[in-house]
Amino acid sequence: MESIQDTSSRKSLCFATLVVMLSTLCSPAIASRSIIDSAGRTVEIPDTINTVFAAGPPASVLVYVVRPETLAGWPRALRKNEIPYIAADYQSLPETGRLTGRGGEANLETVLSIKPDLIIDFGSIRDTYIDLANRVQAQTGIPYVLIDGRFDQTPAALRLTGDILGASERGEALARAAEKLFSRVDAITAAVAEGDRPRVYLARGPDGLETGSKGSINTEIIERAGGRNVIDAGDGRHGGLVEISMENMIAVDPDYIVTWDQNFFADARQNPLWAGISAMQEDQFYLSPTAPFGWIDRPPSLNRIIGLQWMSRLLYPEQWDTELSEEAAQFYQDWYHVELDEEQLQVLLSWAEGQPPE
Amino acid sequence: MSTSGRRRLPVTTGFIGPGLILLALAAASLFAIMIGPYSLSASQALAALVGLSGDPQADIVVQQIRLPRIGAALLVGAALAASGATYQAMFRNPLVSPDILGVSAGAGLGAVLGIFLSLPVAMIQLCAFVGGMSAVLLVGLVVRLGNNNNPTLALILTGVVIGALAGAMTSLLKVMADPYDQLPAITFWLLGSLASITLTDMKPALPAVLLGLTPLILLRWRINVLAFGDEEAKTLGVDAGKLRLAVIVAATLITASVTAIAGVIGWVGLVIPHIARMLVGPGFGRLLPASMALGAGYLLLIDTLARTLSEVETPIGILTAVIGAPFFIALLARGKRGWN
């Protein structure tokens, strides 16, 4: 008898817990407000946000920068050389997987078990992603916000995210910093006619022959920094990732080549085929640091703010009177919440000069 | 041994046929040397070929880029068609292609692993080669362990299974790969391309392909016997088991070597032997060289398209499929099987 009672009481306890959980999920009692995301969707979100699930790497950088204590985990576990450049509290956040993009491997049950107050995706706001957001939101009951990830939209993204996460002041301050940098590089660029701007190639992939054509999210930093992407479909379409041949490389003959691939960087400097390219002959072949995130891409997120400065310095060195070391230290402190010691800073600076850490 | 003289076109008899084919290949190669994104007039290109153009960059483009690339197209096309013809003859099945025993899937997995581990290009190629060879080795071991009274069927089935398994592992790595860094590189590799082939890449591939081709050429008459079945082969004094092993090793070596440098290029090994069979009949002694010549010409044509169609490269694996599939359907619709 006793055991039956016991079971039934346990059952009712379970049931009660379930009711409470469900009511927490869809209870109107919790204070909430509606916001309009970058895709124009009206999303009902709780007033206080404690946990955010980042749908992909760009979103994780955005959330980490704006309000790291809400970040539920990293879509991809941090690599060894990236860890020191993340604030101590967030170095060991769990790996959560991506919710969007090609992999889409994050399990919705995993998302639910994390019980985030909000899902944020930062990047494309095309219909596919809007549809995905609506579906996931309907399925899980968790509000899902889309934020435009185009580089030019960075200040708006920072303000919107600040507002959503209850960090309006920080969002505003960062947005102002981004605007200041944008107008600084734009002022430099404005003085140079389109046709006179340096011709830049962003090399991706192990052989450096993968790139983004003009307008792709991966290479938009080139135009922003006042360069011209040598790979241009020319029809005004937003480009994507493409593969070119070595002959094409010689034909387009860029003045500058930037990459973050260390293998390619080491190989190309010894490769006679690359030796004839103007960028090589002018010694304008550069490697970008990737810790904790890539400076120019990988992922295409707020990490490009420091990359923009770095690239503008490469293209227009005489226009910059501040030291990269100071600017980088300041950026890592203001945006990534880490105070770099002398050694860490030196690693980054040597990296940016073509000597990556082992 | 060949009973198909009736079906042969007159052009392929004697020495005139092969001579004409080689001449056509040489002409096509010469034409391909003259065109490309780096703007050169035909005469400049020919001058650059012998280093007399006066423009060092032009010399590099023609000698170091176009020439190896054309060589690679010829080599890869000939190699894939040769191993396709071999597998089809051995299994007496027209739907068999060089990747039937999992070579491409294994090579793909190897390369993807290399990209996933951020290895340099040469190491990625080595991984692809090792992956392709291992897949077939695994197939062989599994078949060996089992007690099969139909070794051919066992080989094909095991090949399909191991290939599928390698494909699944490849997908797993793609899911785990960095979507902004490794995933695009993996995608491009799996579509196949000759865009970045250099002389350095050709150096290990060429001898490996020749090494694989040698036994096929030497054993070309015996390979016909395999088509009759093991018992008949025995009465003709051929040890079918040993011969099959030698042929598999040779064809695998060929496919794995070219896949390692060019990525996964489908359809050539499937379609080309069919066309060759229509021209010269099923006798392997003629089928092998005919397939090689046709395969070389076909891939040269496709690669020339790939590098001139647009500003950027069109992955060659896409073109071989887009052109190969309808062609194959047309062949089937005409009902010419070319086996008998």
pLDDT 10s digits, A193-210: 999 999 999 999 989 999
B227 closest CA partner among B27, B2, B11? B2
**End-of-domain residue from the set A179, A207, A226:** A179
Q: Which helix (H) or strand (E) holds A145?
A: strand A144-148
Say if residue A213 is in the same domain as residue A134: no
- A143 and A43 Cβ atoms separated by less than 8 Å: yes
Q: Does residue A184 belong to any structural domain of this protein?
A: no
Q: Are residues A144 and A254 in the same domain?
A: no
Verify that A152 and A68 share a domain, yes or no.
Answer: yes
How high is the mean pLDDT of chain A? 89
Please give the helix or strand (H or E) that residue A279 lies within, else none. helix A278-281
In this structure, the answer to whether residues A207 and A260 fall within a common structural domain is: yes
Residues A262 and A318 in one domain: yes
Q: Which of B71, B78, B104, B105 is nearest to B273 (CA)?
A: B78
Q: Report the pLDDT value the prediction gives residue A100, as an integer from 0 to 100.
A: 57
- Among residues B160, B145, B195, B234, the alpha carbon closest in space to that of B319 is found at B195
pLDDT at A26: 53
Average pLDDT over residues A63-92: 95
Q: Tell me, yes or no, whether A4 lies in a domain.
A: no
**Local structure of A294: helix, strand or coil:** coil
Choosing from A132, A154, A179, the residue where a domain stops is A179
CB-CB under 8 Å, B185 with A205: yes
B63 close to A (CB below 8 A): no
- Surface of A (300-329) touching B: CB under 8 A: 300
Half-sphere exposure of B202 (CA within 13 A, CB side): 17
Indicate the number of domains in chain A: 2
Nearest CA among B77, B135, B69, B142 for reference residue B107: B135
Q: What is the pLDDT of residue A120?
A: 96
Verify that A230 and A284 share a domain, yes or no. yes
pLDDT confidence of residue A4: 45
Structure tokens at A247: 């002959």
- State the CATH number of the domain containing residue A260: 3.40.50.1980
Whether residue A101 sits in one domain with residue A146:
yes
> Which ipTM score applies to this complex?
0.85
Nearest Cα neighbor of B190 from B217, B204, B170 is B170
Produce one character per residue of B163-181: b if its CB has 16 or more CB atoms within 10 Å, e if not. bebbbebbeebbeebbbbb
Whole-prediction pTM: 0.87
- In this prediction, residue B151 carries a pLDDT of 79
Q: Do B180 and A218 touch (CB under 8 A)?
A: yes
pLDDT the model gives residue A106: 64
Taking CA–CA distances from A252, the nearest residue in chain B reads B38
* Interface membership of B309 toward A (CB under 8 Å): no
Whether residue A212 sits in one domain with residue A158: no
Lookup: tokens for B230: 């093991």
- Res A102: pLDDT: 38
Is residue A206 a part of any domain in this protein?
A: yes
Amino acid A145: pLDDT: 96
Domain termination residue (choose one: A144, A179, A214): A179
**C-beta atoms of B38 and A297 within 8 A:** no
Predicted confidence (pLDDT) at residue A236 exceeds the cutoff of 80 = no
Same-domain status, A150 and A101 = yes
> Would you mind telling me the total number of residues written for chain A in this entry?
358
- Tell me what the mean pLDDT of segment A228-248 comes to: 83
Domain span including residue A119: 10-179
Nearest to A245 among B57, B121, B196 (CB): B196
Give the pLDDT confidence score for residue B12 in this predicted structure: 47
**Which residue, among A96, A105, A53, A51, has the nearest Cα to A77 in the 3D structure?**
A96
Q: A18 CB near a chain B CB, below 8 Å?
A: no
Confidence band of A232 (pLDDT split at 50, 70, 90): confident
- C-alpha B33/C-alpha B144 separation (Å) is 48
Q: Which of A68, A11, A59, A157 is nearest to A338 (CA)?
A: A68
Pair A144, A202 in one domain: no
The pLDDT tens digits of the residues spanning A157-188 come to 999 999 999 999 999 999 999 999 999 999 99
Asked whether residue A22 carries a pLDDT value surpassing 80, the answer given is no
Query: Which runs of E-coded beta strand occur in chain B?
Result: none
Residue of A246, A217, A248 lying closest to A231 (CA atoms): A248
In a domain, A5, yes or no: no
Is A3 among the domain residues? no
Please, what are the averages of pLDDT over each run of 10 residues along chain B (340 residues)?
45 68 93 92 91 88 93 97 93 84 95 94 95 95 84 89 96 88 91 90 94 94 81 82 90 96 94 91 92 96 92 90 88 63
Q: What's the token pair of residue B122?
A: 């040469």
Q: Do the chains contact at B38 and A247, CB–CB below 8 Å?
A: yes
Q: Coil, helix or strand for A36?
A: strand
For testing the chain A interface, which of B60, B70, B180 should be mutated: the one with the most A CBs within 10 Å? B180
Structural domain includes residue A284: yes
A chain contacts of residue B175, beta-carbon cutoff 8 Å: 103, 105
Distance CA B257, CA B213 (A): 12
Q: Let me know whether A202 and A93 are in one domain.
A: no
A245 interface with B at CB cutoff 8 Å: yes
- Residues A238/A243/A247/A251 CA torsion (nearest 10 deg): 10
Are A236 and A149 part of one and the same domain?
no
Q: Has residue A37 got a pLDDT over 60? A: yes
Q: Is the pLDDT of residue A302 over 90?
A: yes
